C-alpha cells in the first residue's frame, strides 16, 4: 500500500493537523483499520490520537482519498470528535446495543 499526502493543514484552534491523503493499493480495497495503520506508519504519528475521518474510492481505480485528523492530545480528540467517529476508529464501544438489551420490552 502506497500512502501520499495531498494536503496538510494545521488547525491550531482545535489542536490537530488535518491531512488529505491518497492511498494506492493492489487487489481489493483494504479495510478502514488497515488504511489507518498504513497512514499512521507513513506519518509516524501516535495511533492513540489519529482518526480516519473519511474514505472515498472511485469505482475501477486502485486508489482511495482519505481524510485524517491527528490530534496533539487524546483528551481533545475525545472531546471534539463525534461518537460515531470514535466508535468507527475503536476508541469507544457502541453503547446502543447495551441500552437495547437493558431496556425492558413493552407488551401490546
- The whole-number pLDDT of residue 98 equals 58
Residues above pLDDT 70, as percent of the chain: 87
Tell me the mean pLDDT in the region 12-23.
94
Is the pTM for the entire model greater than 0.75?
yes
DSSP code for 90: T
SS3 106: coil
Query: Average pLDDT, whole number, for the chain?
Result: 87
- Map out the domains of the chain as residue ranges: 2-98
How far is residue 46's CA from residue 44's CA, in Å, rounded to a whole number?
7
CATH assignment of 2-98, among 1.10.357.10, 3.40.50.2300, 3.30.70.330, 3.10.560.10: 3.30.70.330
Amino acid at each position: 500500500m502506497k500512502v501520499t499526502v495531498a494536503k496538510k493543514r494545521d488547525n491550531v484552534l482545535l489542536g490537530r493537523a488535518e491531512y488529505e491523503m491518497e492511498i494506492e493499493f493492489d487487489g481489493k480495497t483494504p479495510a478502514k483499520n488497515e488504511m489507518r495503520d498504513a497512514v499512521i506508519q507513513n506519518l509516524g504519528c501516535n495511533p492513540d490520537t489519529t482518526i480516519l475521518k473519511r474514505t472515498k474510492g472511485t469505482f475501477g481505480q486502485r486508489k482511495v482519498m482519505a481524510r485524517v485528523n491527528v490530534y496533539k492530545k487524546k483528551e481533545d480528540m475525545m472531546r471534539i470528535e463525534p461518537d460515531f467517529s470514535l466508535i468507527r476508529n475503536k476508541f469507544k464501544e457502541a453503547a446502543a446495543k447495551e441500552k437495547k438489551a437493558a431496556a425492558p420490552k413493552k407488551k401490546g
